[in-house]
Chain A
């Protein structure tokens, strides 16, 4: 509130000074800061004017509170204002919030006409400065009830935006403490999230995290460069400045936008524009390298303005196309756009100058990094949930299959049990009774007769056991190999039916291990079983061929066919699929009603 009052006060002052056509700042309170608003300036097209020639020239009043001379291609800008001191304090300071500026010279003309000049610039290290700070601070000694005329010359390799204010050291120090704390605090938030996302990147190896890190770190760098902190703390080369950093930030923001919004899928139009935009990012850098500083900063500013539109549209498109996290994205970049507008409005004098507007870029980047990092965490969570869901699904599928397997096993046991009990058991009961009966009979002939039938009964029992055992496990696989086993099985199966068959097998014994062999055997057995049971076929062809490095098994019949609806497939077909999956093979089923059916299996060699 106090700052606002100051602004209004200085505004009134300026209005009061208007008729004189010179800006006059009256210092009346040592605990107030006096902003040099709407300054009078002079363009120096090729930076050729010197102080002596400027004194007599006419200055014009700026339309903005703090003009930024964007689009003005002059190499140097001169400012002029008068200071009049009504207080007892003689030591005042001019603070220029322009750590990023190339070169600023101040000329003080005393009432007696003597001139004192001082030049400060980015490259001056602290020991050359009268006051070491991120802002450029010029001491002004002014006696009570006296007046001074101040001339200021600014040149810059980037933006010429000279936000000037006058105050006592106490006032400047007090304000500085608050600002530095705030800027440091918000920078720290962004840096902390940067580190967090760096760790996440190392964990997930997802490019989007890297793009976030690139974008936020450059944004932090940009803010600290604009505020002059970095130049004050580190010996930084002056080519790292707003003009060169902004395009890099834009570059990463384009990458981040596209990877975060998955624009290829959710916003194809945005995706199409990304390459030309990335290329445009290089243009300001080229201009800067060629020494066209004023053009370069104009391009950087235009680029960031274009990107504001790009971000917002990208976010809206992706959100509309169903990408929920795009809301976070819009929030994050929306904040950045809003604070940029706030900052510009402050510079134009439409918003009061206070900490919140002054450091709005710091706050904006901090909030943005929080929101985007929250979005990334959300995404991380989403991945985790998706993974869990898939795992769960796989687990359930496995459970379902093992349940089916167990019930199959039980059915099989039941079948074996009933075979043992009903047929073999009955036969043995019969044998036992015959033995009992034989021991009771008297004549030699009847004894001989029952011995013969007994032998036959036992032989039958042995055959029964043989049938059961062969049904459980094809003995041929161990004794004769896969090819012969398949052949025998097919022949034995069809010999008991009315089906004519034709079998053409290449020898494939040496291509598969035991487990694969039994799987192949069972697949063919299941097909044959189904054909005999359901197809009502007259002819069947079984062909096994080695083609390149896979085995092709073709089984065709001329039966009634079936609808190849996968949902209706029984456990037999499911079993075939499971076995085929283990073998890494593929299946092709073709069947039409009354047109027979074709099963084709391709199994890769091991």
Chain B
């Protein structure tokens, strides 16, 4: 078995969850957690200094939040795939993540089931959204029709400059 393992960085400020996640990932043969971080700034440092394939980031972290970390990593290393792992089942956060250019959006509550599927999808250069998240988004249609997705530019004024 000389297959090159997928190098993964995981970042979460909850140590128990971090440990659990590592165990889940390392149960799979082809995955290797090469770096762990418990805050945003460390995560950025580690991702930029070391060679990684995938970064799995919690959104709520001290230092820099997951969205900021993803933005920083993608700015320097666009080849790294980002999977956000989050408690936030919310449209606005999801849209922001989409805009940054992440590859996967996984709800923490379904992480054990979804994370492996997410990694394999991402590894094939596909995107992945937790099924529960997509059904939430589909059910939560904007009544007024002025859906936020249509006004994405409002969320990204910095890029209009």
Contact = CB atoms under 8 A, between A and B. Distances in A.
B89 A463 contact: yes
Contacts of A507: 154, 157-158
B93 A479 contact: yes
A499 to B, nearest CB: 9
A462 B143 CA distance: 26
A194 B157 CA distance: 69
A487 B148 contact: yes
Contacts of B92: 476, 480, 484, 487-488
A501 B145 CA distance: 11
Contacts of B60: 475, 478-479
A485 to B, nearest CB: 8
Given A463-B89, A466-B87, A487-B154, A479 B67 contact: yes
Interface in B32-86: 59-60, 65, 67
Contact of A491 (B65, B96, B109, B142): B142
B109 A484 contact: no
A260 to B, nearest CB: 62
Secondary structure call for the A interface:
helix
Contacts of B157: 483, 507
B154 A476 contact: no
B155 A484 contact: yes
Contact of B144 (A459, A466, A479, A501): A501
A29 interface: no
Interface string B7-21: 000000000000000
Contacts of A63: none
A505 interface: yes
Contacts of B144: 494-495, 500-501
Interface string A449-483: 00000000011001100100010000110111001
B132 to A, nearest CB: 8
A451 to B, nearest CB: 13
B96 A479 contact: yes
Q: How large is the interface on B (under 10, 10 to 19, 20 to 34, 35 or more residues)?
A: 20 to 34
B87 A484 contact: no
Contact of B109 (A462, A494, A500, A501): A462
B109 A505 contact: no
Contacts of B67: 479-480
Contacts of A479: 59-60, 65, 67, 88, 93, 96
A126 to B, nearest CB: 90
Interface string B118-153: 000000000000001000000010111010100000
A495 B143 contact: yes
A475 B87 CA distance: 11
A475 B154 contact: no
A466 B157 CA distance: 29
Contacts of B93: 475-476, 479-480
Contacts of B158: 507
Contacts of B96: 479-480, 484
User: By CB atoms of chain A within 10 A, which of B87, B89, B92, B148 has the most?
Assistant: B92
A480 B98 CA distance: 13
B54 to A, nearest CB: 22
B88 A480 contact: no
Contacts of B132: 459
Contact of B65 (A478, A487, A505): A478
A159 B80 CA distance: 106
Contacts of B90: 470, 475-476, 488
Contacts of A488: 90-92, 148
Interface string A492-504: 0011000011110
Contacts of B87: 462, 466
A458 B132 CA distance: 14
User: By CB atoms of chain B within 10 A, which of A458, A459, A491, A502 has the most?
Assistant: A491
Interface of A: 458-459, 462-463, 466, 470, 475-476, 478-480, 483-484, 487-488, 491, 494-495, 500-503, 505, 507
Given A479-B60, A480-B92, A491-B142, 8 more contacts: A466-B88, A475-B60, A476-B92, A476-B93, A479-B59, A479-B93, A500-B144, A505-B154
Closest 10 CB pairs of A and B: A507-B157, A488-B92, A462-B109, A480-B96, A484-B155, A479-B65, A495-B143, A480-B92, A479-B67, A484-B92
